Amino acid sequence: MRAVLFDRFGGPFRTEVVDDPAPPADAVVLQVGASGICRSDWHGWQGHDPDITTFPHVPGHEFAGTVVAVGAEVRAWRGGERVTSPFVCGCGTCAPCSRGDHQVCDHQTQPGFTHWGSFAEYVVVRHADVNLVALPDAMTMITAAGLGCRFATAFRAVADQGRVRDGEWVAVHGCGGVGLSAVMIAAALGARVIAIDLDERTLARAQALGAAVVLNGAAVDVPAAIREVTEGGADCSLDTLGAAVTASASIASLRKNGRHVQVGLLAGRDHRPALPMELVIARELELVGSHGMAAHAYPRMLAMIADGRLAPDQLIARTVPLDAATAELEALEERSAGGMVVIDLSA
């Protein structure tokens, strides 16, 4: 198969032909139809994820494809099905999985991190009976590839971890792929959404996706502006970028008893940020993390897509062939992609 590989953290990429994978007993092999290019892939390439331990390595964790090989222990899949998968693949048997929390499985696997990912013509999905999700007939591979990390992560962060309700004020700090997804989802749930970013074109896109208010973080004191607009602060605020400044601003923008959801991965100098914990105490704020969404939780999200309340295809900025994937990934160090960029492996 053709695959994109790197041999060291931060090192150059190469595209070459390597051996096709075979499925372990609990797994399937998918022929990749499309694969998203996510900032988490950039973090992995930079060495920010401890699961990447051997080289060469193939990135890619957002994908959709067709089942082409099935392990001996797999019962629910036969081959030929169009599927996607969460980026966190649970084992199905540990204590968190037994509670339904596959996204924090004790023995989780993650294509693109624990093993080779989907910047390739084929990818392995472990514990397939637990982790595969059948695609609706009307959904394209391109649209489905954006669900597994950014959109599904945003859905659970907003709907479950953030517990967003109709009429609440919700602030979204950082409008990349996760942030724009969160804007759309929160608006679909009836929230009044405030989108914060540094790029005016991105803010215009957030407004088109349902944001009631947009703020340029370079031009205003973000927490003060949010408190003024909302007359006291946001009910729920999400840091979807992952930086000390956005995490702190998210917490400071909350009203009393508000809820902060940390979605973006903090890395590098921001790995252990100083946060305004005095506000957490004084305002009795709630701080929670959000790490993907289990396969069994997809039906609610898919139902909202099917009935038109959510339109994840609107978040796709462009598609590129496999050979162009590395340039897009490298560019994420300096800028947002302005929406989701998806590798079209049929191209």
**Residue 271: what pLDDT?**
85
- Whole-number Å distance between alpha carbons of 71 and 58: 22
The answer to whether 50 and 60 are in contact (CB under 8 A) is: no
What pLDDT does residue 177 have? 87
> Phi/psi at 193 (nearest 5 deg)?
-105, 135
Q: Which residue in 308, 293, 307, 315 sits closest to 181, CA to CA?
A: 315
CATH number of 163-289: 3.40.50.720
**Residue 64 one-letter amino acid:** A
Fold equal for 2-150+293-344 and 163-289:
no
E strands of the chain, at which residues? 2-6, 13-17, 28-37, 62-70, 82-84, 122-125, 133-134, 169-173, 192-197, 213-216, 234-239, 254-262, 286-289, 316-320, 340-344
Instruction: Please return the burial class of 327, using the count of CB atoms within 10 Å of its CB with bins 0-12, 13-18 and 19+.
Output: exposed
Query: pLDDT value at position 338?
Result: 63
Q: Are strands 340-344 and 316-320 parallel, antiparallel or unpaired?
A: parallel
Half-sphere exposure of 56 (CA within 13 A, CB side): 16
Q: In the chain, where are the structural domains located?
A: 2-150+293-344, 163-289
- Give residue 32's pLDDT: 98
The dotted CATH code for 2-150+293-344 is 3.90.180.10
- The strand pairing partners of 318, in sequence order, are 341
Contact 183, 177 (CB under 8 A): no
For residue 39, the model assigns a pLDDT of: 84
pLDDT of 109: 96
How close are the terminal C-alpha atoms of the chain, in Å? 15
- Cβ-in-10-Å burial (0-12, 13-18, 19+) of 64 comes to buried
Q: What is the pLDDT of residue 346?
A: 82
What pTM did the predictor assign?
A: 0.93
Segments of the chain with pLDDT less than 70: 334-338, 347
Per-residue confidence (pLDDT) for residue 337, from 0 to 100? 54
